Structure 1
Amino acid sequence: MVVKANQERRSKTDATDLKHIWKRATKPNSEWNEKDDFLDVIYWARQILGILIGIVMGIVPLKGFVALALFALINCGIVYFYCTSFQSIDDEVYGGMWEIIKEGFMTSFACFLVTWIIFYTGIHFDNVTPEKIN
C-alpha cells in the first residue's frame, strides 16, 4: 500500500513538474532554479530538432558533407539563439556556452542520421540504385 501511494504521488509530481518545465521552456526569459531542468530542455529539444532536420534533408535530396555541415550549423545555431536571445541565460552558470552547445549534440546527430538515411533512401531509392546494364 505504501509503495503504491508513493508511486502515485511521484507520477503526479512528475507530471506537474513536466508542465512547469514546458511552460518555462516556451516562455521567454524564464527563471531556471534547477540547472538540470534547463539542460534537459536543451537535450530533448535537440533530439526533436535532429529528427525534423533529418526528415527535411531526406525529402530535399541533400547528401554528403553539405548535409552534415548544414545539420551542425542549424542545430547549434538554433540552440545558441534559444539560449542567448530567447531565454537570456547566463552561460557561465552552466560552464560556458560551449558546454550548452555540446549538450545532447551527439545523440541528436544520431537521430538526424537515422531519419535522414531512412527518408532519403525511401523517397529517392530509384536514384540511389545504379541502372541495370543490358
Structure 2
Amino acid sequence: MKEGKSVKFNHQQQHQNGHLSPSKFAKLLDPEASWDKDQLGDVLHWIRQALGLLFGLLWGAIPLVGGIWFILFLAISSAIIYGYYALILKVDEEEFGGHGALLQEGLFASITLFLLSWILVYSLAHF
C-alpha cells in the first residue's frame, strides 16, 4: 500500500517538475524537441488526415468540381507538411529518409479521405 503511494507521488512530482509535459501538444511547435522517426511520421500522418478531411468538406460545400482542385489539394497539403517539418520543427530531413519520405507520410490515406468527404458533401448538398 505504501509502495503505491510513493509511485503516485513520484509521478506527480515529475509532472510538476516538468519532466512529464502536461500537454504533448507543446512538443508539436517546439523546434528544440527531439523526434524519432515513428513519432514524426505519426504527427505528419494525422496532420495530413485532418487536412484531407477539412479540404474535402470545404471543396464539397463550395461546390468545386474538376481535377484542378484535386491537384490544388495535393499541392496545398504537401506545402503545409513541408512547412511544418522544415520551417516550424526544423528537423534534418536526412535523418528521417529525406523529403520524399516525409512528404509521403499519410499521403494516400489523406487522398482517400479527401475524395470521400468531397464527393459525399458535394452529393448531399447539391443534389
TM range (shorter): 0.7 to 0.9
CA RMSD, 1 decimal: 1.8
- How many residues matched? 108
Counterparts of 2:49 and 2:69, CA distance in 1: 17
Unaligned 5+ residue runs, structure 1? Answer: 1-15, 126-134
Counterpart in the other structure of 2:26:
23
Q: What's the TM-score once normalised by structure 2's chain length?
A: 0.78
Counterparts of 2:35 and 2:45, CA distance in 1: 17
Counterpart in the other structure of 1:120:
122
Indicate yes or no: 2:45 matched with 1:46.
Answer: no
Indicate yes or no: 2:93 matched with 1:91.
Answer: yes
Bigger CA drift: 86-95 or 30-39? 30-39
Does the CA-based 8 Å contact 1:32-1:38 persist in structure 2?
Answer: no
Unaligned 5+ residue runs, structure 2? Answer: 1-19
State the 4+ residue runs in structure 1 displaced beyond 3 angstroms. none
Counting aligned pairs with the same residue, the percent is 33
Aligned residue type for 1:65: G
* Aligned-partner SS, 2:123: helix
In the TM superposition, residue 35 of structure 1 has moved relative to its aligned partner by 1.9
Counterparts of 1:62 and 1:30, CA distance in 2: 40
Residues 112 and 30 (structure 1), Cα distance of their counterparts in 2 relative to 1, 3 Å cut: farther
